[in-house]
């Protein structure tokens, strides 16, 4: 997944919906506010309830609206590009040829269905030949270069203690369910998912010719559950220092001799002395499991991993099995159209080639300059807020401001485009996918022991998202997000500062959330705080954890405050910084109403609108369990109940459901 551990504003979207009656008459106006719901009771619903009532989730989607679902209309724009270029003849190796032929190969379902299981036959033959631990690990390592990680997760990124050089990191792996907790919970919803997963594995085995498919599925599940015991929880993985363990390869080889680390490095043709083992307990368990679990069972496990890794690019029965499992997990009732599946695939594997075509056709260059101005304005506003903090000493404030102004700003698209070194043919979809995965592996491994490439982006330009990257101390705003409802060149400042301004403030605050605060201005994990200031900071983040842990969705499902604390801190800080920057504009200084709303009211209305989203319950349940972001309703109501100007703008009174007395309004940044 591009190893984007630092993505902060995961998968944002343009505001869209699937029925005409839910589209605003004028996108800049705020039609549809439900005045029967008090702003102080539920501001998210006050702004969005009429839309929520009318919005229809398409059968092939798990949600609709903004946030991660805004990429739905974005994918249609990409589909237009791919339909056009796939129909033409282009120079071999050109970006048009690569994305066009890759798309065409995936659309050739007749050929894909004809091949059936055949593309994996050679890999299964290799698995059948495994006879001992050494040959098992040789297979596992050889598959890494094709994107099939199985029991080893490896990637290249900056050294936490020396961000000027990239190093090799190994993380916990080996599971098929979304999270380790799914193997141990016994509530009805989780048990249903466990059964669906086992059925999925059994179906894959049957399609591969296994006559003992159900038994094989149980073997795989048992191994995964054994490995899951050693996995750190998502909350535990938020501890930056505890998940960095630099160790000599020679020492690892002695500690975990069954894994054979020296042999792994030799097979990978890497001459390195030390690596980062992020979760050592997992590799200790794996080292033991290689002996305690029979080679026969391991071979069954590796076949299952191979099948699930490639199921979505094989023939229709495999694709259907993959979707039937996803239906239970996310609630989506109908498979997406083939064209949309292929748009997603092209974007994931050739995203920077496709991104060049997208930018040429759809990106408004004026947006890049305007957004840079907003970023600069928010930096100044953030500096002022730092200066005014009553809980931070001048010594730490100086360090914080140095980090703030060292942040690199990336807007729109990369200055240097990534090139792809792979041969793509129209008639070989499976081989195309593997070739691009192999190229991705080579691209990443080539970065080892080198300075980080500061021209590199961690997301494609067409994606509606944004992120902060701690080791490089950078904020990134792709072209995809620089459009309504986040940004519009024709909109008033209140709308833009409440939209993209909140996003910018959110990403800036990530440099100072519970994780970002552990990195210095150069991207090293290094303490730049006084002990007293950091103690106060931790106490404030604990307030945030406690507050959000009290919030519920779907009647009684509680948010995980400790999992979402970074994003919640960024949401709260983002709104505050964006508001301060907005108040420096002419509109922000005035009080002229537009459509009956004051400038401040339009600012807050814009914030509520960028989180306008409706999802299926199954999707939301999994989201709460696994996502570091709060659900949309609490990305609006949570921060606003802490923000004094919101109370003033809408005359929020004691007794209203989300009213908090001043002493209970949490403020960090």
Would you kindly state where each structural domain of the chain is located, as residue ranges? 20-77+342-664, 117-313
Residue-wise pLDDT for 618-629, tens only, equals 999 999 999 999
Give CA separation, 58 vs 76, 165, 627, 660, in Å: 15, 46, 23, 38
Residue 4 pLDDT > 90: no
Q: State the pTM of this model.
A: 0.93
| pLDDT score for 28 | 82
Average pLDDT over residues 174-200: 97
Q: Which of 69-83, 102-116, 499-513 has the lowest mean pLDDT?
A: 69-83
pLDDT band at 5 (very low <50, low <70, confident <90, very high): very low
What region does 96 belong to: left with phi over 0, alpha with psi -120 to 50, or beta? alpha
Average pLDDT over residues 128-155: 96
| pLDDT score for 256 | 97
State in words which class domain 20-77+342-664 has: alpha beta
Fold matches, 20-77+342-664 and 117-313: no
Average pLDDT over residues 603-612: 97
Cα–Cα distance between 361 and 77 in angstroms, integer?
A: 9
Cα–Cα distance between 466 and 449 in angstroms, integer?
A: 27
Residue 277 pLDDT > 80: yes
Residue 231 pLDDT > 70: yes
Average pLDDT over residues 110-126: 98
Residue 249 pLDDT > 50: yes
Average pLDDT over residues 504-518: 98
Residue 385 pLDDT > 50: yes
Average pLDDT over residues 42-64: 95
| pLDDT score for 396 | 98
Phi then psi dihedrals of residue 194, to 5 deg? -60, -45
DSSP output for 167-178:
EEEEE----SSS
Q: Which of 361-370, 392-401, 499-508 has the lowest mean pLDDT?
A: 361-370
* Residues forming a β-bridge with 155: 169
Cα–Cα distance between 108 and 429 in angstroms, integer?
A: 8
| pLDDT score for 10 | 38
Residue 23 pLDDT > 70: no
Average pLDDT over residues 302-329: 97
Q: Kindly give the interhelix angle for 365-388 and 500-510, rounded to the nearest 10 degrees.
A: 50
Average pLDDT over residues 638-642: 98
| pLDDT score for 26 | 63
Average pLDDT over residues 583-589: 97
Counts of helices then strands in the chain (DSSP H, E):
26, 11
Average pLDDT over residues 349-373: 95
Contact 57, 651 (CB under 8 A): no
| pLDDT score for 222 | 98
Contacts of 594 (CB under 8 A, 6+ apart): 492, 494, 602
Residue 22 pLDDT > 90: no
Average pLDDT over residues 430-451: 97
CATH superfamily of 117-313: Neutral endopeptidase , domain2 (1.10.1380.10)
């Amino acid at each position: 997944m591009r190893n984007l551990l630092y993505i902060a504003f995961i998968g944002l979207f343009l505001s869209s919906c699937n029925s005409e009656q839910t589209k605003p008459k004028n996108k800049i106006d705020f039609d549809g506010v439900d005045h029967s719901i008090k702003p102080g009771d539920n501001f998210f619903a006050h702004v969005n309830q009429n839309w929520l009532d009318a919005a229809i989730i398409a059968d092939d989607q798990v949600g609709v609206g903004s946030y991660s679902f805004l990429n739905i209309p974005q994918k249609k724009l990409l589909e237009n590009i791919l339909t056009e270029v796939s129909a033409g003849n282009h120079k071999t190796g050109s970006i048009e040829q690569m994305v066009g032929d890759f798309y065409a190969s995936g659309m050739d379902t007749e050929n894909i269905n004809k091949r059936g299981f055949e593309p994996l036959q050679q890999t299964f033959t290799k698995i059948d030949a495994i006879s001992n631990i050494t040959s098992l690990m040789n297979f596992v390592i050889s598959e890494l270069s094709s994107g099939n990680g199985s029991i080893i997760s490896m990637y290249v990124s900056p050294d936490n203690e020396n961000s000027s050089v990239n190093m090799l990191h190994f993380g916990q792996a080996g599971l098929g369910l979304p999270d380790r907790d799914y193997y141990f919970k016994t509530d009805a919803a989780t048990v249903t998912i466990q059964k669906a997963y086992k059925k999925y594995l059994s179906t894959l085995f049957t399609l591969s010719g296994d006559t003992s498919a159900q038994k094989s599925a149980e073997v795989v599940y048992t191994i995964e559950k054994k490995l899951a015991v050693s996995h750190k929880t998502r909350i535990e993985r938020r501890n930056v220092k505890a998940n960095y363990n630099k160790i000599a390869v020679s020492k690892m080889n002695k500690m975990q001799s069954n894994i054979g680390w020296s042999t792994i490095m030799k097979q990978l043709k890497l001459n390195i002395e030390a690596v980062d083992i992020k979760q050592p307990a997992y590799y200790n368990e794996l080292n033991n499991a290689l002996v305690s679990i029979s080679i026969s069972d391991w071979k069954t496990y590796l076949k299952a991993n191979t099948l699930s890794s490639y199921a979505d690019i094989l023939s229709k029965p495999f694709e259907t099995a993959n979707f039937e499992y996803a239906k239970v997990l996310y609630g989506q009732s109908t498979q997406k159209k083939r064209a949309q599946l292929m748009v997603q695939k092209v974007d994931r594997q050739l995203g920077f080639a496709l991104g060049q075509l997208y930018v040429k056709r759809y990106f408004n260059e004026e947006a890049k300059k305007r957004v840079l101005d907003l970023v600069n304005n928010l930096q100044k506003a953030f500096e002022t807020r730092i200066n005014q903090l009553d809980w931070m000493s001048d010594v730490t404030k100086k360090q914080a401001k140095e980090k703030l102004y060292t942040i690199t700003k990336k807007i729109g698209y990369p200055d240097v485009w990534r090139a792809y070194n792979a041969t793509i043919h129209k008639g070989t979809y499976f081989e195309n996918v593997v070739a691009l995965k192999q190229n991705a592996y080579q691209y990443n491994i080539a970065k080892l022991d080198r300075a980080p490439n500061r021209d590199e982006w961690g997301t494609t330009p067409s994606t509606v998202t944004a992120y902060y990257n701690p080791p490089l101390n950078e904020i990134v705003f792709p072209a995809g997000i620089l459009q309504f409802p986040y940004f519009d060149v024709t909109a008033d400042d209140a709308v833009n500062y409440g939209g993209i301004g909140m996003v910018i403030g959110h990403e800036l605050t990530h440099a100072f959330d519970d994780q970002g605060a552990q990195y210095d201005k150069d991207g090293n994990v290094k303490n730049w705080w006084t002990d007293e200031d950091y103690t106060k900071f931790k106490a404030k983040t604990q307030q945030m954890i406690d507050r959000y842990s009290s919030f519920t969705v779907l009647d009684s499902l509680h948010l995980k405050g400790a999992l979402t604390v970074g994003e919640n801190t960024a949401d709260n800080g983002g709104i505050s910084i964006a508001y301060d920057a907005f108040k420096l504009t002419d509109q922000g200084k005035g009080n002229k109403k537009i459509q009956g709303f004051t400038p401040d009211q339009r600012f807050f209305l814009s914030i509520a609108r960028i989180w306008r989203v409706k999802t299926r319950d199954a999707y939301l349940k999994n989201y709460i369990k696994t996502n570091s972001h709060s659900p949309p309703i609490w990305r609006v109501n949570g921060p606003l109940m802490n923000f004094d100007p919101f109370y003033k703008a809408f005359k929020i009174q004691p007794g209203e459901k989300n009213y908090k007395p001043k002493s209970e309004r949490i403020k960090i940044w």
